[in-house]
Structure 1
């Protein structure tokens, strides 16, 4: 299970549990909260009526039809009110008045006149000078069918001369309770969903940051070229971790790189140094002082010169290869014209092309623009041209072409010559691997194609070297199964979209 998924599951459980307990607590508090508010309103109403009924009680006029008609008319009113989305079509209060003994004198429902209510808590407690209230169920076991009763004393000075009770059924406030619970439920659900979405987004963001860091670490561990994803990592701690990884990679790569190159350089320098030393020893031999040995002396001097040149080329190419292998990305990319770059390099080799009587054919695409580092591309293409010249026989043909296929741009350098042996095809870009030149029988440093491969990796492209058949009449090449002249083709392919 991934880290981001574990974080999301823990976060989801935390949000779900917190939301459950909070919503449950709120839902449970809604009902008593609404009923407490209702009770407070009933207290105010009962005390207002107690003051209103004090004079009729003193004058024994409370049981007259005038007040009975008022209470009856009150109970039959239809408010037709819309209260926050809840329609109210009837008055839900019931009002009854008792004397100082608890006998009902007046009832807005006209169901308890003459009955003794002195045993009910609302009347009983009020007659004792206490706060009188009770809740009675209309139907046994149905809490929603209960009725709240609140009483207030009717006083003459400090003497209690009667009690007025105001009742309200809980079912009348149930729609408000349900509406509030429904809205809170919807709001709570929306908040839970928002919390889960936020958690998922956070987990995705963290996973993306960690994935970039992991991919970078895996790429580095495999010895491949990789750039630090620092610019794409927003988190400060993860950015610092990326910087630390890059610093550690640079230190380790530097040490390993120096060790590897010292070993390689030592191995490759042995052969030319041995040849130079042998030639120098022979030049110092007394036998070469004898008459007629001038030709031998010149041969040894030429050998020293050629091996010195080989040493110089080896060191220069090793330095160039070390530079490009250590480079993780392009330093100064610019828009380049591949056609123009090829023409410039062909001009530098014009003397050699003329000396070898090579037939040079060019076939350039109209649009050959790409983004790249000019110095590296110039060096890479020059290596391919030198290889093509080295393996092309006197009077042979070299075809240089650029070709665009959608977002892909190709440079193809095809030279007439002997096919590459099957065993060597897979090793051409291997460091220090080289085939003998047909004209001299000598091998090169074996670093040229390796350098080209590194440059193409930096540019997000590829190098392909293969045997083809060159049809000189069509200035084109076809697969090796077709008729034509044996040739070797080096293809550089860029993503120039």
Structure 2
């Protein structure tokens, strides 16, 4: 299982379980919290009524006063109140008053006058000087039918002469409880969802960064060119830098060792030729023969110089993991500049060169490297073009890439050689001299093309050979 998914699952379980526990606990606390608040209000109401009714109870005139009519009028009121989105259309309090023996003197519901309520907890406890309250179900087995009763003593001095009880059905609290639970459920669900989204994004970012770093390490281990990922975030960024430093150190050692072996092998032949010619020059010989050996030494030393220069250029490109700049480069002026640089050789060999380029075509890359790569292709074309042949430098847009071609009339490349042309030190004899080149030019061009995200192709055409570069358009 990918690390990002494992991190997300762990985060999901933690946030989900924590959210479920907290949300469930808060939801369970809403109902008793609302009832506790309501009970506190009933306590205040009962004590207020106890003070208001004290004189009537003491005189025994409670039933003859205006209070029964007031309570009946109170029970018929329709408040039409909008309480936080809940419509209240009726009053729900029941009020009854008992004497010091617990006998009901007054009942706003008109049901219990004359009945003995001394055994109900609200009356019983209050008559004993304690806090009296009870909750009684109107329908057996239905918890939603319970009614909350809170009582307060009616005192004459220190003596309790009666009890007033205020009742409220719990079902009238349900709309407020359910509304709070719905709002809390939506809010809690939203917060949990937001937390999971943040966790998912964090896991995606972390796993994506690790995948980029893994792909980079795999590419490096496979010997491919790869650019170190730019990762934000302390430890991951430091890890990427550490992997890059390790790659540079390891590749540098292997690279130097490989190139020392290669250079040693390639230098043996020209050095042996120079040494042999120098030994022969120590003896007596005709001037013409001496001149031939001197020319041979000069030619082989020039070959050594070219070999070393090409190896240095190739080493610089192969060690790169990316371009130093990416700027728009007009193709037509660049090709014209290359032809101007080879004007003397073109004239000397009687070659006819022409440009076939879209005037406003631009590619994106590093100008210095592209100039070197195209110069290599042009030199190859000049080497293999017979006297009087035609050279065509073309450039066309193909989709989202530009195709830059260097065509020369001449004999085709043998089929066996086509797949090997970009191999290091592989070269075909030049028609004019019969000698091979360093075999590093096309390998250098291929490296430059890959650095730019492009490709190199060499193919035979009807009357010649064309090397083409595909590069990203600007």
Residue number in structure 2 paired with 1:108: 108
Give CA deviations for 1:428-448 in whole Å, capped at 9, x if unaligned.
010000001111111000001
C-alpha separation between the residues in 1 aligned to 2:80 and 2:380? Answer: 100
Residue number in structure 1 paired with 2:320: 327
Using the TM superposition, give the Cα deviation of residue 201 of structure 1 relative to its aligned residue in structure 2, in angstroms. Answer: 1.3
Residue number in structure 2 paired with 1:221: 221
CA contact (8 A) 1:81 1:89 kept: yes
Residue number in structure 2 paired with 1:371: 364
SS at match of 1:61: coil
SS at match of 2:344: helix
Alignment of 1:239-318 (within 5 A): 239-285=237-283, 288-289=284-285, 293-318=286-311
Corresponding residue to 1:415 among 405, 408, 426: 408
Residue number in structure 1 paired with 2:447: 454
Q: TM-score, normalised by structure 2?
A: 0.97
Say if 1:283 and 1:78 are closer, same or farther in 2 by CA, change over 3 A. Answer: same
Residue number in structure 2 paired with 1:43: 43
CA contact (8 A) 1:225 1:328 kept: yes
CA contact (8 A) 2:412 2:460 kept: yes
Using the TM superposition, give the Cα deviation of residue 56 of structure 1 relative to its aligned residue in structure 2, in angstroms. Answer: 0.6
Using the TM superposition, give the Cα deviation of residue 406 of structure 1 relative to its aligned residue in structure 2, in angstroms. Answer: 4.5
SS at match of 2:416: helix
Using the TM superposition, give the Cα deviation of residue 65 of structure 1 relative to its aligned residue in structure 2, in angstroms. Answer: 5.6
Residue number in structure 1 paired with 2:470: 493
C-alpha separation between the residues in 1 aligned to 2:327 and 2:71? Answer: 96
C-alpha separation between the residues in 1 aligned to 2:373 and 2:308? Answer: 17
CA contact (8 A) 2:406 2:467 kept: yes
Using the TM superposition, give the Cα deviation of residue 332 of structure 1 relative to its aligned residue in structure 2, in angstroms. Answer: 4.2
SS at match of 1:426: helix
Residue number in structure 1 paired with 2:81: 81
Residue number in structure 1 paired with 2:354: 361
CA contact (8 A) 1:102 1:117 kept: yes
Using the TM superposition, give the Cα deviation of residue 185 of structure 1 relative to its aligned residue in structure 2, in angstroms. Answer: 0.9
Give CA deviations for 1:390-433 in whole Å, capped at 9, x if unaligned.
11112222222222335322221111111111111011010000
Mean Cα deviation higher: 47-56 or 408-417 = 408-417
Using the TM superposition, give the Cα deviation of residue 333 of structure 1 relative to its aligned residue in structure 2, in angstroms. Answer: 4.1
Mean Cα deviation higher: 182-191 or 392-401 = 392-401
SS at match of 1:422: coil
Residue number in structure 1 paired with 2:461: 468
Using the TM superposition, give the Cα deviation of residue 55 of structure 1 relative to its aligned residue in structure 2, in angstroms. Answer: 0.6
C-alpha separation between the residues in 2 aligned to 1:261 and 1:32? Answer: 83
Residue number in structure 2 paired with 1:67: 67
C-alpha separation between the residues in 2 aligned to 1:459 and 1:283? Answer: 49
CA contact (8 A) 1:358 1:396 kept: yes
SS at match of 2:66: helix
1:237 aligns with 2:235: yes
C-alpha separation between the residues in 1 aligned to 2:35 and 2:375? Answer: 92
Give CA deviations for 1:362-413 in whole Å, capped at 9, x if unaligned.
2222113223323222221121111111111122222222223353222211
CA contact (8 A) 1:104 1:113 kept: yes
Say if 1:35 and 1:332 are closer, same or farther in 2 by CA, change over 3 A. Answer: closer
C-alpha separation between the residues in 1 aligned to 2:290 and 2:104? Answer: 147
Q: TM-score, normalised by structure 1?
A: 0.92
CA contact (8 A) 1:145 1:171 kept: yes
Residue number in structure 2 paired with 1:346: 339
C-alpha separation between the residues in 1 aligned to 2:325 and 2:129? Answer: 96
Say if 1:129 and 1:332 are closer, same or farther in 2 by CA, change over 3 A. Answer: closer
Say if 1:350 and 1:183 are closer, same or farther in 2 by CA, change over 3 A. Answer: same
SS at match of 1:363: strand
- Number of residue equivalences: 474
Q: Which runs of 5+ in 2 are unaligned?
A: none
Alignment of 1:157-196 (within 5 A): 157-196=157-196
Give CA deviations for 1:166-193 in whole Å, capped at 9, x if unaligned.
1111111111111111111111111111
1:11 aligns with 2:11: yes
Corresponding residue to 1:382 among 363, 372, 375: 375
CA contact (8 A) 1:367 1:404 kept: no
C-alpha separation between the residues in 2 aligned to 1:42 and 1:364? Answer: 95
Using the TM superposition, give the Cα deviation of residue 76 of structure 1 relative to its aligned residue in structure 2, in angstroms. Answer: 2.1
C-alpha separation between the residues in 2 aligned to 1:62 and 1:337? Answer: 108
Q: CA RMSD in A?
A: 1.5
Mean Cα deviation higher: 103-112 or 393-402 = 393-402
Using the TM superposition, give the Cα deviation of residue 156 of structure 1 relative to its aligned residue in structure 2, in angstroms. Answer: 0.6
CA contact (8 A) 2:364 2:472 kept: no
Q: Which runs of 5+ in 1 are unaligned?
A: 470-485
Residue number in structure 2 paired with 1:150: 150
